[in-house]
Structure 1
């Protein structure tokens, strides 16, 4: 019986946006804002394009609505990412180590801050902090495995 094998690797493209503010904290925060903000804008465009194609017609109102949604989503998710990256970097500098605990702390602080800004109650803020910590920690572990 014949046999064969396939080998290969999968890697994601790297996009480097270099903005030098002279401060590593600000550099990382702006980089996180721009990268995740761009992802949110792309997702928003794809979703609205699908909805417009499904509807079968395009109006200037659709275009205006899509543009507003792109700006809102990009700014919101970019700000969340910027805060997370800044919090993670800050905890790294304070703790003096670079490990998963920084991601956990950054995720918890970002989740709590985003929730508090939305005028949520203390219980919801705590739940969002736990969720942020869990997501950030899981992402860190997955990133470590690959």
Structure 2
């Protein structure tokens, strides 16, 4: 029996925003903040657009609420990404190698730091460190597959 197979690849567009802070560490950190902060803001935009379409209403109040939520979420997501990217770059420079261990350490330290800054309990900080390390490691391994 004849079989056919679809093969190919999908490449997402690469967007590079060059912000030169005069220091590679700061360049990586700001780049992570801007890119992922934009993703966070776009998520809010899509979510709020869906809610407006579902309700069938749109007002100045809803727009103001959406803009505030976009800024808040964008800043939060960007801060998390900036901390992670900055830590990963720093650990890479200290260790002198680029591998999955940098992602694991960066994710764990970022998770713990952000959790501690949120005044969480010690158990929550440890759980967030484990979660951050696991997510970063999984993302690193997935990037090796592509």
TM-score in same-fold range (> 0.5) = yes
Q: Tell me which stretches of 4 or more aligned residues in structure 1 moved more than 2 Å.
A: 1-7
State the 1:96 CA deviation: 1.1
The C-alpha deviation readout for 1:29-79, integer Å capped at 9, x for no partner, is 000000000000100000001001111111111011000000000000000
1:75 correspondence with 2:75: yes
What is the TM-score with the length of structure 2 in the denominator?
A: 0.96
In 2, the alpha carbon distance for the partners of 1:32 and 1:110 equals 13
After TM superposition, the structure 1 = structure 2 runs for residues 116-135 of structure 1, keeping only pairs within 5 Å, are 116-135=116-135
State the 1:5 CA deviation: 3.8
Which residue does the alignment assign to 1:29? 29
Which residue does the alignment assign to 1:40? 40
State the 1:145 CA deviation: 1.1
In 1, the alpha carbon distance for the partners of 2:63 and 2:93 equals 44
State the 1:6 CA deviation: 2.9
State the 1:2 CA deviation: 4.8
Q: Unpaired segments of 5 or more residues in structure 2?
A: none
In 1, the alpha carbon distance for the partners of 2:4 and 2:56 equals 47
Which residue does the alignment assign to 1:136? 136
State the 1:4 CA deviation: 3.7
Q: Unpaired segments of 5 or more residues in structure 1?
A: none
State the 1:91 CA deviation: 0.6
In 2, the alpha carbon distance for the partners of 1:3 and 1:139 equals 34
What is the TM-score with the length of structure 1 in the denominator?
A: 0.96
State the 1:90 CA deviation: 0.6
Matched residue SS, 1:77: helix
